[in-house]
């Protein structure tokens, strides 16, 4: 709640939110709730710039699972309609990127490079990013690299918004 409630400050500082822990603990739900709340900030910002609220454009918030992101990039190689540069720029430059389930995709060198390019750009440009993962710190370090995890931690207000969840899956408790 604290991350989403003062979203204007998160944008100014490029603060990230990283939600880590086992499956079924509500990480995706919380990431989407924060993303939904951020839309109010972007709507107000757009209204300040325009006298008309009839503007229709792309959403400033992009939600995608890491495996879907990697697959979309792969698919662009065999497509006349998809362009890798456009896809990568969409992930790199969107106002708020929410990456769900980081670590479920295969950890190849190619995948690490693509994820590094996106996350490093967002880190350098101070763009808010929300990440959910089932991996713990050491697993995440192996999966994407110590450098990226270090930057994720710093971008998450030096770990303040790197939230670790413990517990049992809500899906199994019903």
* Greater model confidence, 126 or 45: 126
Domain boundaries, the chain: 2-46+58-165
DSSP string, 15-44: --EEEEESTTSSHHHHHHHHHHHHHHHHHH
Between 47 and 37, residue with greater pLDDT: 37
What are the two backbone dihedrals, phi and then psi, of residue 59, each rounded to the nearest 5 degrees? -70, 140
**pLDDT score at 78:** 87
Banded pLDDT at 58 (limits 50, 70, 90): low
Strand order across the 162-165 sheet: 61-65, 96-102, 129-133, 17-21, 162-165
Residue that the structure tokens 């006349």 belong to: 80
- Say if strands 129-133 and 96-102 run parallel, antiparallel, or are unpaired: parallel
Domain 2-46+58-165 has CATH 3.40.50.300: yes
pLDDT per residue as tens digits for the range 68-108: 999 999 999 988 887 899 999 999 999 999 999 999 887 89
pLDDT above 80 (res 4):
yes
pLDDT digits (tens, 9 = 90+) for 123-173: 999 999 999 999 988 899 999 999 999 999 999 999 999 999 998 888 776
> β-strands 17-21, 96-102: how paired?
unpaired
């Amino acid at each position: 709640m604290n991350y989403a409630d003062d979203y204007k400050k998160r944008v100014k500082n490029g603060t990230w939110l990283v939600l880590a822990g086992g499956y079924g603990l509500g990480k995706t739900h919380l990431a989407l709730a924060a993303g939904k709340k951020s839309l109010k900030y972007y709507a107000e910002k757009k209204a300040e710039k325009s006298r008309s609220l009839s503007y229709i454009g792309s959403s400033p918030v992009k939600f995608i699972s890491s495996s879907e992101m990697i697959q979309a990039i792969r698919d662009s190689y065999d497509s006349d309609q998809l362009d890798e540069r456009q896809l990568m720029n969409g992930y790199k430059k969107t106002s708020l990127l929410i990456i769900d389930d980081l670590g479920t995709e295969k950890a190849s060198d190619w995948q690490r490079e693509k994820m590094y390019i996106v996350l490093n750009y967002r880190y350098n440009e101070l763009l808010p990013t929300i990440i959910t993962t089932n991996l713990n710190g050491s697993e995440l370090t192996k999966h994407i690299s110590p450098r990226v995890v270090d930057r994720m931690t710093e971008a998450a207000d030096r770990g303040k918004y790197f939230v670790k969840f413990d517990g049992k899956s809500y899906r199994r408790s019903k």
